[in-house]
Amino acid sequence: MSIVTIHFGFDRAAAGLAGEGRRLADASNSELHAIAINGGAADLARVADRVSSIDVDYQPEACLAALAELCHGATTILFANDTYSQELAPRLAHRLGGSCVGDGVGVELRDGAMRVTRQVYGGKAQAVIALKRTPGVAWLRARSFVPAPLRDTPCEIATITTPAFATKTRIIERKREAQTEARLEDARVIVSGGRGIGGPEGFHAELEPLAELLGAQMAASRAACDAGWAPPTWQVGQTGKKVAPELYLAIAITGASQHMAGISEAKNIAAINIDPDAPIFRHARFGIVEDYRKVVPLLREKLKKMQ
Q: Which of 293, 273, 291 is nearest to 210 (CA)?
A: 293
Beta bridge partners of 51: 34, 157
- For 181, other C-beta atoms within 10 Å of its C-beta total 9
Which contiguous run of DSSP H or E holds residue 91? helix 83-96
For residue 113, what pLDDT is reported? 85
Q: In what order do the strands lie in the sheet with 50-54?
A: 125-130, 113-120, 99-110, 136-140, 76-79, 2-7, 31-37, 50-54, 157-160
For residue 163, what pLDDT is reported? 56
* 157-160/217-220 β-pairing: unpaired
- Residues 31 and 49: beta-carbon distance below 8 Å: yes
Q: Which of 241, 236, 202, 243 is nearest to 222 (CA)?
A: 236
Q: Which of 2, 31, 30, 36 is nearest to 17 (CA)?
A: 36
- Residues 180 and 231: beta-carbon distance below 8 Å: no
**DSSP one-letter code for 149:** P
- Residues 265 and 289: beta-carbon distance below 8 Å: no
For residue 180, what pLDDT is reported? 55
Per-residue pLDDT of the chain (307 residues; tens, 9 = 90+): 789 999 998 887 788 999 999 999 999 999 999 999 988 899 999 999 999 998 877 788 888 888 999 999 999 999 998 889 999 999 999 999 999 999 899 999 988 789 999 988 767 789 999 999 999 999 998 777 888 888 999 999 998 875 555 566 677 887 765 555 677 888 899 999 999 999 999 999 999 999 999 999 999 999 999 999 999 999 999 888 888 899 999 999 999 988 998 898 899 999 999 999 999 999 999 999 999 999 999 999 999 998 8
Which contiguous run of DSSP H or E holds residue 262? helix 257-263
Domain boundaries, the chain: 2-160, 184-306
Give this prediction's pTM: 0.73
Residues 6+ apart with CB under 8 A from 306: none
Domains 2-160 and 184-306 belong to one CATH topology:
yes
Strands (DSSP E) found in the chain? 2-7, 31-37, 50-54, 76-79, 99-110, 113-120, 125-130, 136-140, 157-160, 189-193, 217-220, 247-251, 269-273, 286-289
Task: Indicate the CATH number of 184-306 among 3.10.20.600, 3.40.50.150, 3.40.50.1220, 3.30.1360.120.
Answer: 3.40.50.1220
User: How far is C-alpha 297 from the chain's CA centre?
Assistant: 31
> What's the topology of domain 2-160?
Rossmann fold (3.40.50)
Query: Which of helix, strand or coil describes residue 300?
Result: helix
- Residues 89 and 100: beta-carbon distance below 8 Å: yes
